Chain A
């Protein structure tokens, strides 16, 4: 729902960085988006082209690296993806339960390419 404003901010960050490096054009923006960040990658893609019109990012390719959330087993320490309605560890023979980690909450601009 708030992807429009967030996408405006992504373009601002890219433009600021490009200007600081005396570049005229942003050719690529690489974004890291965790599935638990609450932001829908497809919506960002949709808004990016609309908002980037007339900006330094107008012809930039948007690369989104999606990260699946992982729980960490309190017993054996393994990181694993949660199954719906379950927190049970997936390791063979382990009856532990996973707790939330920061993996999957990421939301940052990793890099840009400029020319």
Chain B
């Protein structure tokens, strides 16, 4: 009996406390995107780069897809000066390679973070004396997170290599959905591996009906003439060159 009474009293106490809580508690509608600040800085950066005539390309792809090799192939075939921001968790291996070729490059080491964001780019572009041309931002090797964050770019370029397998559009849809141009790299190896190109292209097309897919080989340079022509045309229309 006393137990029941105790529980009742306890319930009453809770009720009283609950009522008081309800009286004191207010709900505030926010509806604020958690990435809003990143998007704001990205929009400002995009404006700045457009004003300076710098067509900016966010290069995405898995580790080992051939991002740096593809960059070199594109830069060699473009019609204006190129700048590069290299994003890696650790090391400056790629930056050294690009410096050796005389390409102006700045390294960002995220120390663990899996993607670049717009405040990082805002800090890095101060290192350049930007002039009309192209800026390649090589994102962290990762097929997931880089697709989620705008970093001031005009286009997203995705590199997928045949050695990764033909199921990638099905497994990592966002990167393929958001890409403006897709390179299928290492096609010189295609005869040595099981890569179902039809299945790959079908997956890409269903996620992204517009982005052109170029078959390339970073090793031989095949296909990069066409890629560079597409970039030059896109930059002209984007920046009214």
Contacts and interface: CB of A to CB of B under 8 A. Distances in A.
B24 A115 contact: yes
Contact of A10 (B34, B148, B170, B206): B34
Interface residues of chain B: helix, strand, loop or mixed (majority): mixed
Interface string A1-16: 1100110011001000
Contact of A21 (B24, B26, B114, B206): B26
A85 B170 contact: yes
A107 B39 CA distance: 13
B27 to A, nearest CB: 5
A5 B144 contact: no
B31 A108 contact: yes
A13 B32 contact: yes
Interface string B164-175: 000100100110
A7 to B, nearest CB: 9
Interface string B33-49: 11101000000000000
Contacts of B148: 37-38
A113 B174 contact: no
A52 interface: no
Interface string B143-184: 011011000000000000000000100100110010000000
B28 A114 contact: yes
Contacts of A10: 34
B32 A109 contact: yes
Most buried by B among A2, A18, A21, A112: A2
Interface string B7-41: 00000000000000100111111111111010000
Contact of B37 (A9, A18, A27, A108): A9
A5 B27 CA distance: 25
A71 B227 CA distance: 30
B30 A13 contact: yes
A29 to B, nearest CB: 9
B209 interface: yes
A99 interface: yes
A36 to B, nearest CB: 6
A87 interface: yes
B28 A17 contact: yes
B26 A36 contact: no
A49 interface: no
Contacts of B174: 36, 38
B215 interface: no
Interface of B: 21, 24-35, 37, 113-115, 144-145, 147-148, 167, 170, 173-174, 177, 206-207, 209
Interface of A: 1-2, 5-6, 9-10, 13, 17-18, 21, 23, 27, 36-38, 84-85, 87, 97-100, 107-115
Given A2-B114, A99-B206, A108-B34, 14 more contacts: A2-B115, A9-B37, A10-B34, A13-B32, A17-B30, A18-B28, A23-B26, A36-B173, A38-B144, A108-B32, A109-B34, A111-B31, A113-B28, A114-B26
28 contacts: A1-B113, A2-B113, A2-B114, A13-B32, A18-B28, A36-B173, A38-B148, A38-B174, A84-B170, A85-B167, A98-B206, A99-B209, A100-B177, A100-B207, A108-B30, A108-B32, A108-B33, A109-B30, A109-B32, A109-B34, A111-B29, A111-B30, A111-B31, A112-B30, A114-B25, A114-B26, A114-B28, A115-B26
